[in-house]
C-alpha cells in the first residue's frame, strides 16, 4: 500500500523507507496474533496442507507474522520452515515463539527465489497491502518457486477494492484485494490448480470487531507452470 511521505529538514527519514506494512505490524505485534489466533478455518487450511506434504518438506511462509499458527504448526509436524516478514517486531516474536523454524526480516517482493526451491508455500493474508500488479507478479514468482506438484495455501479478504483507505486494529492502512472469483483466476493464471476453496465469516477477538469475510484456497503447481 502507498506510504505517506514524511521528512526531517527536507530529507527523507529512515522510517519513510520502510514498507508501510512494517510500520503497521510493528505497532500491532502480539495483539494481531491474539485477535486472529482462534480462526478455525486457518487451522483447517493448515491441516489440509499437512495432509499433502511428505515428511521433512521445505516450506516458505510469506508474511510469517508472530509464527503462530502457521510456522508453529508446520515446524511441530517436522517440516523445514522459512518465514519472511517485513516487520522486525514480528520476526523477533516469531523467532522466540517458534525456535524450530527460521525467520528473516525482508520484503518478499525483493527476495530472490530459486525455481522449484520449496515443497510448499503459505501466503496467509500477506498480499493485502500490495497493489494488484504486485500481488499477481508475486504469486507467479511463488508458483515458480514450488517444485512440480508443490502445494500453496493462501488466504485473503475477498472484496473488490483497490487502494482502499481503512482502519485496521487502530492502524490506518490502505488495502487492495480481489473478489473471490478474480482471486482464483489470478492463481490459475500463475500456473496453479485450485484444489479447494473455503469461504467463512470470521470475527476477530477484539472489542466491537465486526465479522469479516475470509477466503482460504489450496492449490497445487501445475507441471507446466513457468
What pLDDT, on the 0 to 100 scale, is given for residue 119?
98
> Which grid coordinates belong to 41?
478455518
Mean pLDDT over 14-29 rounds to 52
Omega of the bond leading into 69 within 30 degrees of 0 (cis): yes
- 47: pLDDT confidence band, cut at 50, 70 and 90? very high
Instruction: Reply yes or no on whether the pLDDT at 20 is more than 80.
Output: no
**Mean pLDDT score of the chain, rounded to an integer?**
86
- Taking the C-alpha atoms of residue 78 and residue 96, their distance in angstroms, rounded to an integer, is 18
Q: Are 66 and 33 in contact (CB under 8 A)?
A: yes
In angstroms, the CA 213 to CA 192 distance is: 23
**Residue 83 pLDDT grade (very low, low, confident, very high; cuts 50, 70, 90):** very high
Confidence (pLDDT) at 3 = 31
pLDDT by residue (tens digit) across 194-209?
Answer: 999 999 998 887 787 8
- Helix, strand or coil, per DSSP, at residue 223: coil
Q: Where are the domains of the chain?
A: 12-221
Each residue's pLDDT tens digit, 132-189: 999 999 999 999 999 999 999 999 999 999 987 765 555 667 889 999 999 999 999 9
Question: How high is the pLDDT of residue 207?
Answer: 80
For 49-75, write each residue's pLDDT tens digit.
999 999 999 999 999 999 999 999 999
The pLDDT value recorded for residue 188 is 97
CATH architecture of the domain formed by 12-221: 3-Layer(aba) Sandwich (3.40)
The region, left, alpha or beta by phi > 0 then psi within -120 to 50, assigned to residue 164 is beta
The answer, yes or no, to whether residue 111 has pLDDT greater than 60, is: yes
The sheet carrying 212-221 orders its strands as 102-105, 80-85, 58-62, 118-124, 146-156, 212-221, 192-202
Amino acid at each position: 500500500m502507498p506510504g505517506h511521505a514524511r521528512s526531517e529538514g527536507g530529507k527523507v527519514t529512515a522510517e519513510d523507507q520502510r514498507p508501510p506494512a512494517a510500520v503497521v505490524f510493528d505497532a500491532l505485534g502480539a495483539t494481531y496474533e491474539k485477535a486472529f489466533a482462534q480462526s478455525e478455518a486457518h487451522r483447517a487450511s493448515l491441516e489440509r496442507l499437512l495432509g499433502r506434504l511428505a515428511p521433512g518438506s521445505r516450506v516458505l511462509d510469506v508474511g510469517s507474522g508472530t509464527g503462530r499458527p502457521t510456522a508453529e504448526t508446520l515446524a511441530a509436524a517436522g517440516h523445514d520452515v522459512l518465514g519472511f516478514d517485513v516487520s522486525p517486531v514480528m520476526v523477533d516474536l516469531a523467532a522466540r515463539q517458534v525456535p524450530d523454524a527460521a525467520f528473516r526480516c525482508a520484503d518478499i517482493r525483493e527476495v530472490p527465489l530459486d525455481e522449484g526451491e520449496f515443497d510448499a508455500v503459505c501466503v496467509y493474508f500477506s498480499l493485502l497491502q500490495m497493489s494488484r500488479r504486485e500481488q499477481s507478479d508475486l504469486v507467479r514468482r511463488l508458483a515458480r518457486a514450488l517444485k512440480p506438484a508443490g502445494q500453496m495455501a493462501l488466504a485473503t479478504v475477498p472484496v473488490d477494492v483497490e487502494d482502499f483507505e481503512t482502519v485496521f486494529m487502530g492502524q490506518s492502512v490502505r488495502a487492495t484485494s480481489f473478489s473471490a472469483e478474480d482471486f482464483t483466476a489470478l492463481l490459475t493464471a500463475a500456473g496453479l490448480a485450485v484444489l479447494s476453496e473455503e469461504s467463512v465469516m470470521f470475527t476477530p477477538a477484539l472489542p466491537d470487531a465486526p465479522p469479516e469475510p475470509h477466503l482460504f484456497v489450496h492449490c497445487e503447481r501445475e507441471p507446466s507452470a513457468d
